[in-house]
């Protein structure tokens, strides 16, 4: 009898633990009290609810999904009516692939709750009481803060951001890298070619975290990039009088007459050590810059201008040349094709797609050959384009800009350890 008593204590504590959710296994129990243990454990291990997960297939109606998952026609149509009437669900605007969760009592085949995940932060919850369905839309708030990331270039910008922000998901790190290269610095730094080991950056960027843990990087509010000891700051400032979103430390717009590169950074497939790239089949003694990118990648006009040349030109293959103001010309070679509507005499605007990367002419792999000419002479884009800066902020906004700049750049200098929250936000 004494033995049995010990066993009972063991069973009761096991059940208590299982109910608390702390235990998920069923240890062997002595045969003597097997019956009680079975009952207890069954009771503890069987969930009171069944959950069923499904996703809406392309072209499938919600009613069809609900029926496929075992709901009766009548119940499904009542649930849908609640969704449209109580929760203003528009049945024509339900995303394909939408996750649907159905919750039913263990003993019941009809669900008592259906959750439609319309977006990361938006669900419609349908609840059944008896035969009556009611619907409710629930917003799940994102939380937003501002983070600082500081890194040093060892090979390229992707690797530097990865190393400096290991706690951000990979997609957020990529988004941050592209934002730095393509949004903040695209007029000043060619991130695929200008960087050297030892160059460094500090970036303050908005971060939003979804209820499911997904992370989105919003705008960069301030940053510094130091290349060979020279720092270019970028401060986000809402100006009424000037063009552009970012201004450097001297209050000049980061937007200028020329983009630093004819391909957006995110499109370039090789961002390091490209000058001696073995597969490019570089023309001897050529005076241009080569960008490796997939065939068909859109090529952008680096500035406003007029097309003065379009067609085949020996080693260049398909070539396009644009005349800009002040004696500048830009050339784009090895193109697979030209964009629609591009002809000699066409006016093009900065960043407009003018052609597509190819490997025509003397090229063994797809890449863009790019040249800058000033008064008919080829010049190094790194030297000639980086000198051009944008317009200064208007006088009336100068004081406001200066105080925003001082505050943001001051905060950007705070000690950083991995992904660090900006103190004031
Ligand atoms: Zn070339």
Residue 128: strand pairing partners:
133
Mean pLDDT in the chain? 84
CA of 29 to the centre of ligand 1 (A): 77
CA of 307 to the centre of ligand 1 (A): 20
Confidence class of residue 262 from pLDDT cuts 50, 70 and 90? very high
Contacts 24+ apart (CB under 8 A), 57-62: 57/96, 57/97, 58/96, 58/97, 59/96, 60/96, 61/91, 62/91, 62/94, 62/100, 62/116
Q: Is the pLDDT of residue 28 over 80?
A: no
CA of 378 to the centre of ligand 1 (A): 12
pLDDT value, residue 162: 96
Percent above pLDDT 70 for the chain:
84
Alpha carbon 246 to its chain's center = 20
CA of 152 to the centre of ligand 1 (A): 29
pLDDT value, residue 211: 84
pLDDT value, residue 418: 86
CA of 332 to the centre of ligand 1 (A): 9
Q: Is the pLDDT of residue 1 over 70?
A: no
CA of 187 to the centre of ligand 1 (A): 21
Q: State the average pLDDT over residues 245-260.
A: 94
pLDDT value, residue 42: 43
Structure tokens at 201: 């950056």
Q: Is the pLDDT of residue 24 over 90?
A: no
Q: Is the pLDDT of residue 146 over 70?
A: yes
CA of 242 to the centre of ligand 1 (A): 36
Read off the pLDDT of residues 312-332 as tens digits, 9 standing for 90 and up.
998 899 999 999 999 999 999
Confidence class of residue 257 from pLDDT cuts 50, 70 and 90? very high
Angle at 22 (CA atoms; ends 20, 28), nearest 5 degrees: 105
CA of 382 to the centre of ligand 1 (A): 15
Q: Is the pLDDT of residue 5 over 70?
A: no
CA of 158 to the centre of ligand 1 (A): 24
Tokens 């003065």, residue located: 308
How many helices (H) and strands (E) are present in the chain, helices listed first? 8, 21
**More confident of the two residues 58 and 43:** 58
DSSP 3-state of 93: helix
Q: Is the pLDDT of residue 61 over 60?
A: yes
Q: State the average pLDDT over residues 159-184.
A: 96
Spatial distance between the Cα atoms of 4 and 9, rounded to a whole number of angstroms: 9
CA of 369 to the centre of ligand 1 (A): 4
Please state whether the predicted TM-score (pTM) of the whole model is above 0.95.
Answer: no
Which residues are in the CB-under-5-Å shell of ion ligand 1? 286, 288, 290, 369
Closest CA to 299 of 323, 325, 318: 318
CA of 261 to the centre of ligand 1 (A): 14
CA of 271 to the centre of ligand 1 (A): 15
Q: What residue ranges define each of the domains in the chain, with the CATH number in brackets?
A: 2-45 (no CATH), 49-139 (3.10.450.350), 143-256+411-421 (3.10.450.350), 265-384 (2.70.70.10)
pLDDT value, residue 195: 92
Collect all residues with Cβ–Cβ distance below 8 Å to 245 and sequence separation of at least 6: 219, 236, 237, 238, 254, 255
pLDDT value, residue 30: 36
Q: State the average pLDDT over residues 258-276.
A: 79
CA of 254 to the centre of ligand 1 (A): 28
Confidence class of residue 36 from pLDDT cuts 50, 70 and 90? very low
Confidence class of residue 286 from pLDDT cuts 50, 70 and 90? low
Rg (CA), the chain: 31
pLDDT value, residue 120: 82
Read off the pLDDT of residues 363-421 as tens digits, 9 standing for 90 and up.
888 999 999 999 999 998 888 887 788 899 999 999 999 999 999 999 999 888 888 88
Q: Is the pLDDT of residue 122 over 60?
A: yes
CA of 11 to the centre of ligand 1 (A): 78
CA of 191 to the centre of ligand 1 (A): 18
Ranking 71-80, 91-100, 350-359 by mean pLDDT, the lowest is 91-100
Give the DSSP per-residue string, 389-410: --PBPPHHHHHHHHHHHHHHHH
Q: Is the pLDDT of residue 281 over 80?
A: no
Q: State the average pLDDT over residues 41-61.
A: 76
CA of 309 to the centre of ligand 1 (A): 18
Cβ distance 97 to 44 under 8 Å? no
pLDDT value, residue 38: 35
pLDDT value, residue 46: 59
Strands (E) across 313-346 are located at: 318-323, 328-335, 337-338
CA of 368 to the centre of ligand 1 (A): 7
pLDDT value, residue 45: 55
Q: State the average pLDDT over residues 6-24.
A: 35
Spatial distance between the Cα atoms of 326 and 342, rounded to a whole number of angstroms: 22
CA of 297 to the centre of ligand 1 (A): 16
Spatial distance between the Cα atoms of 340 and 338, rounded to a whole number of angstroms: 6
CA of 290 to the centre of ligand 1 (A): 5
Q: Is the pLDDT of residue 223 over 60?
A: yes
Q: State the average pLDDT over residues 48-73.
A: 89
CA of 181 to the centre of ligand 1 (A): 22
pLDDT value, residue 34: 36
pLDDT value, residue 16: 36
Confidence class of residue 108 from pLDDT cuts 50, 70 and 90? confident
pLDDT value, residue 251: 94
């Amino acid at each position: 009898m004494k033995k049995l008593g010990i066993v009972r204590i063991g069973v009761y504590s096991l059940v208590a633990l299982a109910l608390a959710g702390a235990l998920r296994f069923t240890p062997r129990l002595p045969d003597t009290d097997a019956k009680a243990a079975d009952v207890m454990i069954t009771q503890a291990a069987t969930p009171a609810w069944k959950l069923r997960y499904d996703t809406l297939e392309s072209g499938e109606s919600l009613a069809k999904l609900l029926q496929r998952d075992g709901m009766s026609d009548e119940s499904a149509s009542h649930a849908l009516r609640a969704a449209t009437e109580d929760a203003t669900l528009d049945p024509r605007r339900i995303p394909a692939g939408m996750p649907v969760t159905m919750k039913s009592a263990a003993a019941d085949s009809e669900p008592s709750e259906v959750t439609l995940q319309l977006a990361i932060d938006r669900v419609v919850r349908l609840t059944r009481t008896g035969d009556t369905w009611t619907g409710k839309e629930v917003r799940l708030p994102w939380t937003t803060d501002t983070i600082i990331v500081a890194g040093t270039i060892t090979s390229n910008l992707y690797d530097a951001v990865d190393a400096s922000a290991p706690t951000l998901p990979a997609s957020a790190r990529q988004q941050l890298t592209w934002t730095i290269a393509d949004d903040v610095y695209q007029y000043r730094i060619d991130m695929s070619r200008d960087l050297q080991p030892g160059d460094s950056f500090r970036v303050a960027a908005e971060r939003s975290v979804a209820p499911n843990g997904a992370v989105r990087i919003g705008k960069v509010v301030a940053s510094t990039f130091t290349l060979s000891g020279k720092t270019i700051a970028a401060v986000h400032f809402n100006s009424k009088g000037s063009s552009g979103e970012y201004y450097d430390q001297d209050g000049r717009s980061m937007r200028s007459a020329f983009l630093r590169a004819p391909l957006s950074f995110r499109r370039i497939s090789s961002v390091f050590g490209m000058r001696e790239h073995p597969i490019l089949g570089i023309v001897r003694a050529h005076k241009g810059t080569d960008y490796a990118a997939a065939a068909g990648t859109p090529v952008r006009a680096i500035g406003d201008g007029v097309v003065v040349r379009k067609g085949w030109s020996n080693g260049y293959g398909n070539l396009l040349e644009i005349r800009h103001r002040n004696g500048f010309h830009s050339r784009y070679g090895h193109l697979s094709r030209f964009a629609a509507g591009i002809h000699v005499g066409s006016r093009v605007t900065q960043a407009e797609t003018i052609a597509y990367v190819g490997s025509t002419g003397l090229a063994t792999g797809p890449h863009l050959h790019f040249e800058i000419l000033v008064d008919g002479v080829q010049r190094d884009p790194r030297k000639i384009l980086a000198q051009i800066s944008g317009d200064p902020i208007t006088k009336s906004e100068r004081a406001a800009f200066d105080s925003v700049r001082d505050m943001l750049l001051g905060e950007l200098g705070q000690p950083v350890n991995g992904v660090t929250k900006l103190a004031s936000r």
